[in-house]
Structures are given as structure tokens and as C-alpha cells.
Chains A and B, each alone.
Chain A
Amino acid sequence: MDFAIIASNIDIYLEGLKNTLILVSISLIFGLVMAIPLAVLRTSGNLYVQAPIRAFVYFFRGTPLLVQMFLVYYGFGQFEAMRESVLWPLFREAYFCALFTFALNTCAYTTEIIRGSIVATPHGEIEAARAAGMSTFLMLRRIVLPSAFRRALPAYSNEIIFMLHGSSLASVITIIDITGAARIVNSRYYSPWEAFLTAAVFYMAITFTIVFFVRKLEKLWQRHLMPLEQLDTKIEAPSI
């Protein structure tokens, strides 16, 4: 084993790290922002509103990410009409294709996660909101969504990690992410062990960072559910 080749090629890995972080964070942000309204609409009673969202979620959850990426990257490029459309300058870029696919993919999963936790809102909370005279929107904003986010957080943290790991597929369409960097180093020195082990260490470091911050957030959001002795700040008994 020769880790000197990694040290002398660390630049490629850092470039890969940058690309992975950008790809994953932007697609997660877009995915989440789109998923919230979709999840709310998905729980509405109207079948015509539900149907297209169901179809979208069904497609993206029903097919592998790699297939989706090939469809977008190589598939769209097959059509003359697509190549001449105004959208082509965007879809010409491998980076955009990856972002587009990742964002829609994570959006589909996130929609389903949030929908699940909206459906699981305790009836009592909704009845209390109604009794207090809240409008539907106000109830969503103050009661249903905050409570749903709290319940969705553990499942969503999994989705973040899956997205991070799924992003390694970007290397297939010429993007130099962490995996892409490992493939370059591997191809130059025929040392798959060193090259991919380094990539694994990078992914692990990011994953642990994500887990660390999600824990913090969980602590913040679930304060009211925690046993008193685990809280950082003591709650004083109100003086009478």
C-alpha cells in the first residue's frame, strides 16, 4: 500500500469534496423547499391535486437514481428538439443534469417523509387548533408543520445521508466528485484500495458531521420530550 500517491493527489480529492458538497447541499435545499408544499397538497382531499404528485413520487421512488440520471443526461440529449430548445444550455452541462436529477429524486422521497408525518399529527392538536379558531393556513404554519417536521427529522436525516451517498453516481457522467476523484487516482496508479479507501474516509467524515448537526437539531426541537436531567439548562420551578 502506498498512501504517498494520495498525499500528492490531495488536490483532486479536495476539488471532489467541493463538488460533492455543492451538489448535495443545493439538491437537498431545492428538494426540501419543493417537498413541503407537495406534501401538504398530497394530504389534501382533492384527487386531481393528489394524482400528479403521486405519479411523480411513484416514478422517482420506483426507479434507481442511476437510471434517472442516464435518462436526463444521455436520454434528453438524444432528441433533436431538446438539443435545439432554450433549455439545452442548461441540460448540456453535466453539473446541471446531476443537480436536476438529485433534486427531483430527494424531493420525491422527502415529500413522502413529510406526508407521513403530517398524516400522523395527533387529532387532538388539530381539534385544539380548530377550536381556537385558526384558519387552515395558520393551523398548518403554527401546528401541523412544526409538529410534522419534528417527527420527520430522524427519517429526513437518513434521506440526507442517502443523498450524499447517492451523489457518488455523479462521477459516472464526467463530474469530479469525491468518487470521481478516486476513479481518476485509481486509473492513474491502478491502486483501487488506496484511492477508494480515501474516498470512503471523506464520505464518512461528511456523514458524521451531518449526524452531529442533526443530533443538535433534534435536541433543540424535541426539548419538550426529553427527561429533565438531560436538558442543559435547569428549569426553575415557578415561584408562587
Chain B
Amino acid sequence: MKRILVVLSLCMVLAAGSVMAKEWKKVRIGVEGAYPPFSFVEPNGELAGFDIEIAKALGAAMGAEVTLVAQDWDGIIPALLAKKYDAIIASMSITEERKQKVDFSKKYYQTPAKFVCKKGAMATFSREAMKGKSVGVQRATIHDKYLTDNYGTDVDIKRYGTQDEAYLDIVAGRVDMLLADSVALSDGFLKKPEGKDYQFIGPDLNDQKWFGDGAGIAIRKEDKDLGELFTKAIDTIRANGTYKKIQDKYFDFDVYGE
């Protein structure tokens, strides 16, 4: 028994050593694929969007070969912990809850959250006006948490697996409002033909308690070195103009925030 223990602990030391020494020549990155314009699937089946291009650019800056793995949002952190991939680049906001499970690089963009409702449906934005309304939100997001904590007793919260499903349901009249990232809402919904009857309502929401410090790249806690590599790579592509080139393809303003 003792010998087995010794062998086992030796193995563990060796394993830990090899993790430490691991060079990141190949990085598998978990992405979502249903969050336009950050991440979506093109008609030809290819993944595209801001997150996707940032992932590729960061890989290039790090000198690593990037493999993208599409994963539903619900399971995106558990799958990282289960080593299905090594990092998440999926517009994931850096929050305290998530920091208990994973580590983050520095942010790679930061945009506020906002509500959307049908044009003319609400004269003013207030808690009273929202009473009894149903609000669609993507499950397990900072928006879900914000809504649950702040309006949980006043509104009927409908939680969706993807943002796309929430868009379908507001058009079908099943929910009165949506809460999501303002850029995702604007580019993924409001600017599209099916979103023409809808508008933003209420203020920009960016309370740090819920909305965190912007979107970062999530990695397992034991891979701190990978997190640093990503942070460095973000600085690199910010400095050499790659970031700006990518963002100009998707947005007409600076998504990096202050």
C-alpha cells in the first residue's frame, strides 16, 4: 500500500511538473457560436464574429495553434474545467462568482447592458412600468443575475439557452422585454429586419457589482501561465493595430471601453 502511495504521489508530482512546464504550442478555445455579432455561425457552417477573430489573432500573437470548439453557454465553464478546451473566448464578463471557478486574463472589451422593448410599448422606464412584464434573458449570464437580483420579484423572467432563442420569442410576442449586452442587442437584433419594431429603453447598465470588469478570457485556475500569455497577447494586438482592424469590421465605435 505504501509503495502504491509513493508511486502515486510521484506520478502526481511529475504530472504537476509537466503542467507547469507545458508550452502552449496548441490551444483549444471554447466559443459559443450563437451570440451575434460576437460569435455566430456563417451560412456555410463556419464560425465567425468578433470573439472568433480575436481568438485567432491572440493565437497568432502567442505563436500558438488555435483550435476552436463550439460549446453551449450553459456548459461553457464546466467544459473548461473538464478540459474539453483550455480557454474560453465567448464575451464572458469577469465577475466574482466566475472567479471562484476560473481565472481570467485582462478584459478584451467592455460594453454596457441595456433593456429592449417594442417601440411605443413603454412611455418611460421605471420599476413600476416593468411590473408584471415578462423579460427574456440568456441563462447563466450576468444579465440573468442582474435581473434575478434586482427585478426577480417584479417581473416574470424567461431564461433561454441562447440569445437567438430570446430574439425569436420577443418577435413571437412571448416576452415583453429583453435584457442583454447593448452591442449584441443592437447588431444581433435591432439592426436586423425582424428587430425593426423594437428599441432600447432605460439607461446603460454597467454597475460593477453585476456587470464586472468587462469581457475576459477564462482559463483554468492551474493554468495561470496561459492567462498571462493571453493578457500579453491582448496588449500586443492592441498595440500593433490588429485589434482595431478586427473591431472596425464589426463596430463603428471603440468596444474596448476605457
Contact = CB atoms under 8 A, between A and B. Distances in A.
Which has the most chain A C-beta neighbours within 10 Å: B97, B172, B173?
A: B172
Given A74-B168, A184-B159, A190 B139 contact: no
B74 A92 contact: no
B63 interface: no
Contacts of A184: 139, 159
Interface in B121-154: 139-140, 144-145
B98 A190 contact: yes
Contacts of B174: 77, 92-94
B115 to A, nearest CB: 18
**A interface: dominant SS:** helix
A130 interface: no
Contacts of B22: none
A77 B169 CA distance: 8
Interface residues of B, number: 23
A157 interface: no
Interface in A172-194: 172, 174, 183-184, 186-190, 192
Nearest to A89: B173
A200 B64 CA distance: 41
Interface in B165-195: 165, 168-169, 171-174
A215 interface: no
A83 interface: yes
Interface string A137-162: 00000000000000000000000000
A174 B160 contact: yes
B241 interface: no
Given A187-B74, A187-B140, A188-B145, A83 B158 contact: no
A161 to B, nearest CB: 26
B257 interface: no
Nearest to B82: A192
A225 B68 CA distance: 62
A192 B145 contact: no
Contacts of A172: 161
Contact of B78 (A74, A92, A93, A190): A190
Interface residues of A, number: 17
A190 B160 CA distance: 17
A208 to B, nearest CB: 28
A218 to B, nearest CB: 40
B219 interface: no
B74 A186 contact: yes
Given A184-B139, A190-B101, A83 B172 contact: yes
B77 interface: yes
B87 to A, nearest CB: 16
Interface string A83-99: 10000100011100000
Contact of B77 (A74, A93, A190): A190
B75 interface: yes
A3 to B, nearest CB: 17
Contacts of A189: 97
A31 B127 CA distance: 43
Most A CB within 10 A of own CB, among B139, B144, B161: B139
30 contacts: A74-B165, A77-B169, A77-B171, A77-B172, A83-B172, A83-B173, A92-B172, A92-B174, A93-B174, A94-B158, A174-B160, A174-B169, A183-B74, A183-B139, A184-B159, A186-B74, A186-B78, A186-B140, A187-B74, A187-B139, A187-B144, A188-B97, A188-B140, A189-B97, A190-B77, A190-B78, A190-B97, A190-B98, A192-B75, A192-B78
